[in-house]
């Protein structure tokens, strides 16, 4: 489980989402990769030619990396009203 500042996470998602093409013929290219290592959350977006990353410090341990649709991730995190976001994955 990790804890991250919601506003900083939104900024990282927005930065990485700039590289994502929402009308890609390859659906995975509409997704962002989210990974936590050594107390840093990295959000990566790519369009096949370039990639853009946003990074945020987190509290807690590591969690399994995952991919999520960029639009969905922005909507979900944007809808959270608390100042921090807690999430994790189970193995």
Per-residue pLDDT of the chain (91 residues; tens, 9 = 90+): 899 999 999 999 999 998 887 666 677 778 999 999 989 999 999 888 888 999 999 998 778 899 999 999 999 999 999 999 998 766 6
* Nearest-angstrom CA–CA distance, 86 and 46: 25
Q: What is the pLDDT of residue 23?
A: 67
Cβ proximity of 43 and 12 under 8 Å: yes
Element (H, E) at 87: strand 84-87
Length of the chain: 91
Cβ proximity of 10 and 82 under 8 Å: no
User: Radius of gyration over alpha carbons of the chain, in Å?
Assistant: 13
Q: What is the pLDDT of residue 30?
A: 87
Q: What does the block give as tokens for 41? A: 């959350």
Q: What is the pLDDT of residue 63?
A: 83
């Amino acid at each position: 489980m990790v804890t991250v500042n919601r506003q900083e996470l939104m900024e990282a998602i927005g930065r990485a989402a700039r590289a994502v093409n929402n009308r890609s013929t390859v659906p995975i290219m509409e997704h962002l990769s989210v990974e936590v290592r050594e107390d840093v959350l990295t959000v990566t977006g790519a369009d096949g030619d370039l990639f853009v990353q946003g990074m945020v410090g987190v509290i807690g341990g590591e969690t399994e990396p995952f991919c999520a649709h960029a639009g969905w991730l922005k909507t979900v995190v944007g809808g959270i009203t608390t100042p921090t976001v807690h999430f994790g994955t189970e193995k």
